[in-house]
Each structure stands twice: as structure tokens, then as C-alpha cells.
């Protein structure tokens, strides 16, 4: 192993690819089958320089803060900008009107070059072209992380028309950064702090957080129409989770973390220290710090960032639990029992006497690797609309069951314990989840699915759903639509290929009249509440998962006897409660002055003043659609709860 790492560090300094451009394209076409060492050798994985966390982390020792091995998968179409198939960097500053020259792709050196033809490496940190290439490289890697079979196992779509996410590294002056669907962009601002300029595009945590919004918006675009604070909070959670997981996935950083831990992986303490260090070093970017908390549902306000910390904390408990479990392997060489999450460090006296099986680096690797599957793969099971923490927790548990039905280490039990501790699950949920049951049940359907046609055609998927309205809780007269249809090829432990999943999402809008003074200027208007479900099939048509957000309307025709009648009654009850909660949250948001129209700047980018909830006219002026504004918290604003006084209400650019 040592030999190999020496060789690879030599490769870093001089590109030793001896493949012709034609051969490279031929290899690229088969790159999924090639090992990464070979891809590096053949120039199919190119190294770029980025900051690990933020230029302000380890400011005194900038060398250790630079990652010169951010490996980006090569594509035939790399171009100036950088521009690649899914991203385009556009360095336009809306405040100054300046358009910075782009980094230039140089085919012969297979690298991006600066304006004077210089290399873009650690000697070019102060150039805007370094910023452009660095933010692009981080995003390429983040996209690869999500598309990996250990995550979603499929290409990630954007939530807008077009295939390139525009990235603006120096969008203007301000403590801000955001993802914006309307302008199809991620925008990064810069600001002054103690005499130095802080560029948010250089902070990998911020870049990854914003990218988390873009990914979630891509895979569940209807979430942004939810008025449930938990859906907005889930978006924030995804941002923070992306920042944490991408940090831990970074091989070089993991090695550094393990070194910081002094060669002894002291279970939870190490992660805790790491979290603290990062929190202190980048005041105001408290991704990891905020992850280490004990917050439970009910402890926090409905402000989305506050609320998100409950779920971020829960998943950090899971990560810590995995770390403890694997560290026990290392010390005792056995895998007994489940990890008790969040119980803090235990003993450690025996560490000196026993032979280690896993090094701290391996423990980090194993925990981060499993976490990617445990936390990201369940996203495919989520309902298409209005996700809650409870939904996600259920999806995480179900996904664990599907991936690991026998689960000798009882990860399932560990997950349930964490969600119960955070009050995301109730005791009743736990009783239900722990009932002895079969892995799969036959879903009661009038017409079974023909997977060959269903998986290949939205029209066929629609027919299947329409034939089964009564069984799938879709009101008979309501027009519904196929929100998405795709297949995913995921991998489980030991990189084993899991059965192909076919994911079908359907949704419809239930009309809701806004009537009463609590709706302010929207009194008398009509809006809609989204309802729908997600079905996940395997190749044989077995339903692996069905998650549903019902409406308040009954089926509208006679329903078959027995279970189906019961199912409809429960659904209508749940839908009626959803409708009441929907109206209540809307009234609350209107009362808090959070609802308004987005004002766009003359330059076409999103305005600096954007309400939390944007009201769009839908057709004529009597119909309104409400949607969440995309956003980010930066700096100390995060520590405050949402202002009740009206202060800053319109100032925060979300």
C-alpha cells in the first residue's frame, strides 16, 4: 500500500498519461468499469486544488488546508469557464457589472489555465480563476458523490429546464450565498471580515450546503411548495448533511482527522473535537458544530434552520454510533451488539493491549462510507410533496431494511433508537416498526404493474396509476400527474449490487379556498395543496416502498369492502389534518410578514431582498401558488431565531 501511495504522489506532480485523445474517449465510455488508480493514470480523473474547508480554517498553516487532490472525473467536453456537461461557471458580478475572464481549458496539458496562461494551483490562490476552478471542482465531486451507486445510483436532474447549473463565484458583495431555481444558479457572495475579504465560493462547506439544496430541489422539486416548516427545515438539513458527508468522504482530510486524533480513535470524542474545531475556526459556518447537539422535536422553534438541527443532530448521532461500533471492532476484533448512539466515550483502557484491526483512518472511512448509503439512499423513498422529519426517518429505516434484511449488527435498532431519542419517532412508531413482519408484502392493487412498460414510459406509468386510483388513494375525479419516473442502480455493503429500483412519483393539487382575515390580501383567493405518493418497485413489480401524502377528498365512488374502506377513511382523516395544518401555517406565515412577491433585479439575477415565501399568481389573479424561497444562512444570523420584531425581515436573502 505504501508503495502505491508514493507512486500516486509522484503522478500528481507530472501527468504521465500516455493515452491518445481517441483512446481516452474510448476508455471514458467504459469508465464505470475501471479502477480509480487506472483512471488517474489514464487522465480520466484529473487533480485540482481546493480548500478542504475554508481559507480561514488553519489560516496559520495554509499548506495543510489545501487539498491538491480533488479528483474530478474527466469529460470530453470540458471548456473555458470552467464549463462541463452539468455546470457552467459564469463569473459575473451584479454589483459592479464586472465579468471576470474565465479559466481557459488547455487541451494539451489537460488543465485549466489562468489569464496569463499560468497553472491554476496553490501559487494562484489569489486569482479569480483559481476561485472559478476550485468551486467547479468541488461541485463536480459533490455531484459524483450523489450519483454514486452508494448514494442515489442514477444521474441527478436539476429542477429547471436545461442541464447546466450556472455557478456565479463572485455574485456581489454581502454575507450570502444561495441556490436559486429561477435563475438556474448557485450564487456566491463575498464580504469583509477583520480587514480580509471572505469569498464564500472558496468555502467547501458553503458550496456543499448550497449544492445540497440544488440536489434536493432536483430530486423532489415539489417540496418547495410546502408550507410545512419541516419541509423547509429538511432542505436545510440536506444542505448541512451534504457539507458533513462530503467532508468525511474526502480521503486526504480523513487522514488528517485521524492524525489529529493522535492515532487513537476515541470514539465519539474525536468527532466531537473535530466538530468543535471546525465550529471555532469558521465562526458562522457551524455545520459540524451545529450537528453536535441534543435538540429534540419540541425543543426548537419552527424557524427552518433551528428545526433542521434536530435532524442534523440525529444523523450525527448515527454517524457517531457507527464510529463507536467500528472502533470497537478495532479494539476487540469482534462485532458484537448494536452501537449505543450518543452515549459518549467509554473506557479505552484496553486499547494499548489489544491488536488493532482497523486504523483510525479505516474507522472514519467505514463510518463515512456507510453513512453515505444510510442517509442518501433513502431520499428515493420520500413522498413527492411536503416531506417531514418523520417521513425521512421512516425512509431511512425502510432503506436499511431493504439493504440489509438480516442486519446482524442491528443498525435498524440503532436508527430507531436515535429517532426516538430525538422525538422524531413516538413510542407507538417504535412498536409498529419493531413488530415481527415480512420484508415485503403484496400491495393490494386492481391491476398489477408490468415493469417492462411501466419503467420505460410515463404514459404507461400513468395508466397503471389511473387503473389503481381506488387502491392508491387518488380521488376518482381528480386530475393527477406523474411527477417523476426513473430507475436507480444502487450498491450496498461490500459494493454489492442491489436489485434495480424503479421509482414512480405521482401528485395532484387539491383546491383550497383562502377565506378569512388571517389570509390578509390573499383572502378570497384560491390556492392548492399538493398531495401524492412515491412507489418504489423492484424488477419483478414487488412494491418495496410506498409513501403517501393523502388529500382530504374521499374517493368519490363506492369503495370496495374491508381494508380498502379502512385505508380510505384513514387517508381522508390524515388529508383533512394536512389541509388544516396547511391553512394554519399559511396564515402564520402571512401574519409574520413572510409572504410576498420576489423582486428581480434589472440584471436578471435574484434580488437581494426576497421574502421567505414567494406568492406567484397562477393563471388569472384569483389563483395563487406559494413557494419557499431558496436560501442560506451565513454568519451569526444563524444563531438568532427568526426575528419576531420585524427587524431584518426583508433583508435576509434566502
The residue ranges that bind Zn ion (CB under 5 A) are 236, 239, 632
Closest CA to 377 of 252, 492, 515, 224: 492
- Element (H or E) spanning 569, and its range? helix 563-591
In sign, the C-alpha dihedral spanning 455, 456, 459, 460 is: negative
Name which of 236 and 391 has its Cβ closer to Zn ion: 236
Q: How far apart are CA 575 and CA 583, in angstroms?
A: 12
Closest approach, Cβ 631 to Zn ion, in A, equals 5
CB 309 within 8 A of CB 300: yes
Name which of 221 and 532 has its Cβ closer to Zn ion: 221
Closest approach, Cβ 302 to Zn ion, in A, equals 16
Name which of 45 and 138 has its Cβ closer to Zn ion: 138
Closest approach, Cβ 395 to Zn ion, in A, equals 21
| 3-state class (DSSP) for residue 640 | coil
Name which of 236 and 327 has its Cβ closer to Zn ion: 236
Name which of 235 and 373 has its Cβ closer to Zn ion: 235
Q: How far apart are CA 605 and CA 132, in angstroms?
A: 19
Name which of 282 and 503 has its Cβ closer to Zn ion: 282
Closest approach, Cβ 633 to Zn ion, in A, equals 6
Q: How far apart are CA 287 and CA 131, in angstroms?
A: 22
Residue 401 φ then ψ, to 5°: -60, -45
Name which of 478 and 627 has its Cβ closer to Zn ion: 627
Name which of 217 and 470 has its Cβ closer to Zn ion: 217
DSSP-assigned letter for residue 596: E
CB 257 within 8 A of CB 364: yes
Closest approach, Cβ 377 to Zn ion, in A, equals 22
Closest approach, Cβ 516 to Zn ion, in A, equals 32
Length of the chain equals 654
Q: How far apart are CA 442 and CA 104, in angstroms?
A: 56
Closest approach, Cβ 213 to Zn ion, in A, equals 6
Closest approach, Cβ 637 to Zn ion, in A, equals 11
Instruction: Give Cα 1 to chain centroid, integer Å.
Output: 33
CB 532 within 8 A of CB 507: yes
Closest approach, Cβ 231 to Zn ion, in A, equals 13
Whether a cis peptide bond, with omega within 30° of 0, leads into 472 is no
Closest approach, Cβ 312 to Zn ion, in A, equals 12
Name which of 236 and 553 has its Cβ closer to Zn ion: 236
Name which of 236 and 324 has its Cβ closer to Zn ion: 236
Buried b (16+ CB within 10 A) or exposed e, 554-592: ebeeebeeeebeebbeebbebbeebbeebbebbbebbeb
DSSP-assigned letter for residue 51: E
| 3-state class (DSSP) for residue 424 | coil
Contacts 24+ apart (CB under 8 A), 464-471: 464/504, 465/504, 465/506, 469/555, 470/446, 470/555, 470/557, 470/559, 470/560, 470/564, 471/443, 471/444, 471/445, 471/446, 471/564
Amino acid at each position: 500500500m505504501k508503495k502505491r501511495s508514493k507512486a500516486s504522489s509522484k503522478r500528481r506532480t507530472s501527468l504521465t498519461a500516455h493515452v491518445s485523445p481517441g483512446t481516452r474517449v474510448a476508455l471514458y465510455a467504459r469508465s464505470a468499469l475501471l479502477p480509480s488508480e487506472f483512471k488517474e493514470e489514464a487522465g480520466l480523473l484529473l487533480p485540482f486544488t481546493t480548500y478542504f474547508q475554508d481559507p480561514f480554517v488553519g489560516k496559520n498553516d495554509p499548506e495543510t488546508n489545501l487539498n491538491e487532490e480533488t479528483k474530478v472525473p474527466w469529460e470530453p467536453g470540458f471548456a473555458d469557464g470552467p464549463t462541463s456537461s452539468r455546470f457552467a461557471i459564469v463569473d459575473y458580478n451584479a454589483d459592479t457589472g464586472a465579468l471576470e475572464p474565465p479559466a481557459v481549458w488547455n487541451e494539451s496539458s489537460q488543465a485549466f489555465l489562468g489569464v496569463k496562461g499560468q497553472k491554476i494551483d496553490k501559487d494562484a490562490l489569489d486569482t479569480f480563476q483559481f476561485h472559478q476552478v476550485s468551486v467547479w471542482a468541488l461541485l463536480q465531486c459533490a455531484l459524483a458523490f450523489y450519483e454514486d451507486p452508494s448514494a442515489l445510483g442514477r444521474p441527478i436532474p436539476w429542477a429547471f429546464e436545461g442541464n447546466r447549473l450556472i455557478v456565479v463565484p463572485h455574485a456581489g458583495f454581502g454575507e450570502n450565498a444561495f441556490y436559486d431555481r429561477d435563475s438556474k444558479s448557485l450564487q456566491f457572495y463575498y464580504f469583509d471580515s477583520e480587514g480580509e475579504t471572505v469569498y464564500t465560493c472558496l468555502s467547501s462547506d458553503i458550496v456543499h450546503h448550497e449544492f445540497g439544496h440544488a440536489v434536493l430541489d432536483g430530486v423532489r422539486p415539489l417540496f418547495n411548495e410546502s408550507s410545512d416548516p419541516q419541509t423547509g427545515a429538511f432542505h436545510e438539513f440536506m444542505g448541512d448533511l451534504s457539507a458533513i458527508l462530503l467532508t468525511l468522504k474526502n480521503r486526504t482530510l480523513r487522514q488528517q482527522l485521524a492524525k489529529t486524533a493522535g492515532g487513537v480513535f476515541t470514539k465519539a470524542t474525536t468527532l466531537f473535537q473535530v466538530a468543535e474545531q471546525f465550529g471555532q475556526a469558521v465562526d458562522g459556518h457551524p455545520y459540524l458544530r451545529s450537528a453536535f447537539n441534543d435538540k429534540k422535536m419540541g425543543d426548537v422553534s419552527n424557524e427552518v434552520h433551528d428545526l433542521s438541527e434536530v435532524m442534523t443532530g440525529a444523523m450525527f448521532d448515527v454517524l457517531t454510533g457507527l464510529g463507536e461500533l467500528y472502533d470497537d471492532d478495532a479494539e476487540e476484533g469482534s462485532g458484537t451488539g448494536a452501537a449505543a448512539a450518543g452515549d459518549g466515550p467509554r473506557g479505552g483502557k484496553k486499547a494499548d493491549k489489544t491488536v488493532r484491526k482497523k486504523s483510525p483512518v479505516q474507522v472514519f472511512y467505514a463510518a463515512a462510507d456507510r453513512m453515505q448509503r444510510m442517509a442518501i439512499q433513502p431520499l428515493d423513498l420520500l413522498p413527492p410533496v411536503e416531506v417531514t422529519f418523520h417521513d425521512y426517518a421512516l425512509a431511512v429505516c425502510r432503506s436499511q431494511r431493504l439493504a440489509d434484511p438480516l442486519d446482524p449488527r442491528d443498525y435498524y435498532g440503532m436508527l430507531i433508537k436515535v429517532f426516538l431519542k430525538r422525538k422524531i419517532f413516538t413510542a407507538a412508531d417504535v412498536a409498529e416498526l419493531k413488530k415481527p413482519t415480512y420484508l415485503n408484502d403484496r400491495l393490494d392493487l386492481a391491476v398489477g404493474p408490468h415493469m417492462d412498460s411501466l419503467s420505460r414510459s410515463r404514459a404507461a406509468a400513468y395508466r397503471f396509476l389511473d387503473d389503481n386510483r381506488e387502491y392508491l388513494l387518488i380521488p376518482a375525479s381528480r386530475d393527477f400527474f406523474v411527477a417523476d419516473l426513473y430507475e436507480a442502480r444502487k450498491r450496498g455493503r461490500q459494493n454489492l449490487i442491489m436489485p434495480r429500483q424503479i421509482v414512480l412519483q405521482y401528485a395532484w393539487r387539491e383546491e383550497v379556498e383562502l377565506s378569512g382575515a388571517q389570509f390578509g390580501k390573499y383572502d378570497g383567493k384560491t390556492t392548492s395543496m399538493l398531495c401524492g405518493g412515491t412507489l418504489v418497485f423492484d424488477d419483478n413489480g414487488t412494491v418495496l416502498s410506498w409513501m403517501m401524502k393523502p388529500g382530504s377528498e374521499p374517493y368519490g365512488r363506492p369503495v370496495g369492502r374491508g381494508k380498502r374502506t379502512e385505508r380510505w377513511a384513514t387517508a381522508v382523516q390524515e388529508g383533512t389534518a394536512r389541509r388544516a395544518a396547511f391553512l394554519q401555517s399559511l396564515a402564520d406565515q402571512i401574519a409574520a410578514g413572510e409572504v410576498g412577491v420576489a423582486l428581480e433585479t434589472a440584471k436578471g439575477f435574484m434580488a437581494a431582498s426576497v421574502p421567505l415565501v414567494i406568492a406567484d399568481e397562477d393563471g388569472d389573479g384569483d389563483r395563487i401558488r406559494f413557494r419557499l424561497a431558496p436560501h442560506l444562512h451565513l454568519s451569526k444570523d444563524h444563531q438568532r431565531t427568526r426575528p419576531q420584531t420585524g427587524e431584518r425581515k426583508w433583508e435576509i436573502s434566502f
